[in-house]
Amino acid sequence: MASTIYRLITIVSLLSLLHCAYSAAQHRFYLRLTEQPFVNLPADVVAQTVISLIALIYGTSFLANPFLYIKQDQHPERTCDEALNCPSFITFDNRTKAMSPEFSMLRALKQQQRSQENVSRGTHSGRVSEAVAPSETVDSHE
Amino acid sequence: METDWTQISYDDARQTLKKWRECGVRRSEEVVEIWEHVVSRSPSSLGDELWVVLEQVCIAGLDTARVDLAQDCIDQLHVQFPKSNRVLKLKAMQLEATEHYQKAQEIYERLVEEDPNNNSFRKRKVAILLAQGKRLEAIRAINEYLKIFLNDPEAWLQLSELFLLENDVAKAAHCLEECVLISPLNSMYLRRLGDLRYTQGGAENVELARAYYERAVKINPTDLRSQYGILLSNNLIATTSKNASEKKKAGVAAVEAIDNLVNRYQKISTKKNPESDGILNCLEAMKTTIGSK
């Protein structure tokens, strides 16, 4: 019901605005015929233009979609996974490590090295101690 | 419906990777799948985007314990940018993933010294502490970091997460307040802050929680969880408040929240959410109990 009133206002003001343009053109035409200089438009045309413009703005603002709250979330479809994730603090200790064959090999190597260290301190054997420096074994105990 | 990430088209793959890169979601397994099955067929057609994608895949590879893949990416990046600190950071992250924390720490310290304005190296230093399970030290380190980079919402969020792990809800809420201060239009922070206040309990906190939830719904009307938050906090106020008029008002608001929720559930089909019928019944029952008070 309300929207028909606004629609009526919009259409009437639009027609009135077109009428203003027409009467302005008519005025210029009349001036040219009577060879008078153009100073300004008659007051009634100016008044009609302003009033119908304001009415048009008023009408269309209600015809368009309903007003939205001006402060909106920029990404309303964002999920918790996206918004509450801290990618630059990512740590790599998760269950994929337990399932990965490479890491189980690495763990076995470390364990081997540790047991060797316990048996004879100082005699590191070749590749294992190169791959895992002594300072890192301290880390792995923690 | 589950998407089979190994079967998608090249363009889709590229778009998906870009989307995930930008919103910072952690979907490492899928990234690795997309890279191995789709994008790596013709990496050169990515153009300059290739290097960012390689960085993304490298981190995803480390996250899924695929050190070989990560090494591959780092090698390619190293050939392209031999002196880049960013590539060096990836190497240090690889050391982290293989539990060589001491070496990674040394690299990060050198990087921070070289470029004190780059915050990502400092963040990685905190991540090393997290990986070793030294939570209190990590909290201290983030505090130090936040003294320099005050407006980093990610660090505040991480700090609040750590405080939650320590069961210190009040401090976690404070950290989230900083996040809200930095981006006041992020409904996710407001909602979480509401959750924390509700968890803390007490009349004042529940009222605060209600205010936060209402704010979240206002700036994001699709936020279903905040709608539930409004319902729960209003319900709690209606049952515990000593002020009679407030009690009545909260009860009315709770019923209103239920109506909103019912509206939302009626709009979606049961195919999309098979539980929606049960939830609707539950909400109706709750409405009658609240209404009878």
pLDDT by residue for chain B (293 residues), tens digit each?
Answer: 567 888 889 999 999 999 999 888 899 999 999 999 998 888 888 888 999 999 999 999 999 988 899 999 999 999 999 989 999 999 999 999 988 899 999 999 999 999 988 899 999 999 999 999 999 999 999 999 999 999 999 999 999 999 999 999 999 999 999 999 999 999 999 999 999 999 998 889 999 999 999 999 999 988 899 999 999 999 999 888 888 898 889 989 999 999 999 988 888 877 888 888 888 899 989 888 887 76
Residue A24 lies in a domain: yes
**B155 to chain A: which residues are within 8 Å by CB?**
86, 89
Of B101, B186, B223, the CB nearest to A139: B101
Predicted pLDDT at B293: 66
Q: Which residue of A has its CA nearest to B126?
A: A89
Residue A81 lies in a domain: no
CB B38 within 8 A of CB B13: yes
Cα gap A54→B211, rounded to integer Å: 38
Residue A74 lies in a domain: no
Predicted pLDDT at A73: 81
Cα gap A79→B286, rounded to integer Å: 27
Residue A80 lies in a domain: no
Residue A68 lies in a domain: no
Residue A117 lies in a domain: yes
Among A18, A44, A63, identify where a domain stops.
Answer: A63
**B64 to chain A: which residues are within 8 Å by CB?**
96
Count of structural domains, chain A: 2
Based on DSSP, count helices (H) and strands (E) in chain B, helices before strands: 15, 0
The answer on A10 and A59 residing in a single domain is yes
The answer on A59 and A9 residing in a single domain is yes
CB B218 within 8 A of CB A69: yes
Cα gap B5→B33, rounded to integer Å: 6
Cα gap A89→B198, rounded to integer Å: 27
Pair of tokens at residue B256: 């209103």
> Model pTM greater than 0.80?
no
Among A41, A63, A85, identify where a domain stops.
Answer: A63
**B189 to chain A: which residues are within 8 Å by CB?**
83
The answer on A48 and A6 residing in a single domain is yes
Cβ of A70 under 8 Å from any chain B Cβ? no
Residue A73 lies in a domain: no
CB-based burial, B82-111: b 16+ in 10 Å, e otherwise: eeebebbbbbbbbbbbbbbbebbbebbeeb
The answer on A103 and A59 residing in a single domain is no
Query: Taking CB atoms and an 8 Å cut-off, how many pairs form between chains A and B?
Result: 109
Residue A86 lies in a domain: no
The answer on A51 and A8 residing in a single domain is yes
Among A42, A63, A84, identify where a domain stops.
Answer: A63
Residue span of the structural domain in which A17 resides = 2-63
